[in-house]
Amino acid sequence: MLKEARHQSKGLCLKLCILSPELAALPWKFTYDERRGEYLCLSRNTPPVRYLEIPHPVHAVSVRGPLRILGMIANPKDLNLLDVDRERERIGKAIEDLRSRGLLDLVWLQGQTWRDLQRMMRQCPWHIFHFIGHGGFDLEAD
């Protein structure tokens, strides 16, 4: 397939469907190709994406603007600190044009807890939730 895609001057998206929870938890975005000397996620021709099997097809949703995004940052001091200022700056720059035309509204949540998020989710309808932080799964708490 990759050979045919290259012949057509096209890329090939690698779709990862990982069913095992232990394997799914691995940081696949850091997969490194030693032959090419690059991370797969940085490839413009063969980017890997995670694929989740869902029991029902996803249907398109129409949204009446502006598109409302709720952003949340969780950066606990006892974990590796994230460069959240840089992340916010990059997002702001990426959406600057849409925001100036009134097509998009981004609100950053004040607070880092589940309760803070629940409180803000009740205030108005949101179309997108953007999370910057660490994630994990607690087997004991399920």
Please report whether residue 10 resides in a domain: yes
> Is 86 found in the same domain as 128?
yes
Please report whether residue 139 resides in a domain: no
- The number of distinct structural domains making up the chain is 2
Please report whether residue 119 resides in a domain: yes
Angle at 50 between CA 104 and CA 130, to 5 degrees: 25
Sign of torsion over alpha carbons 94, 123, 119, 137: negative
Output the pTM of the full model. Answer: 0.57
Please report whether residue 57 resides in a domain: no
Query: Which of 58-67, 97-106, 116-125 comes out lowest in average pLDDT?
Result: 58-67
Residue-number span of the structural domain to which 81 is assigned: 67-133
pLDDT at 17 over 70: yes
Please report whether residue 36 resides in a domain: yes
> Is 98 found in the same domain as 42?
no
> Is 72 found in the same domain as 38?
no
Please report whether residue 114 resides in a domain: yes
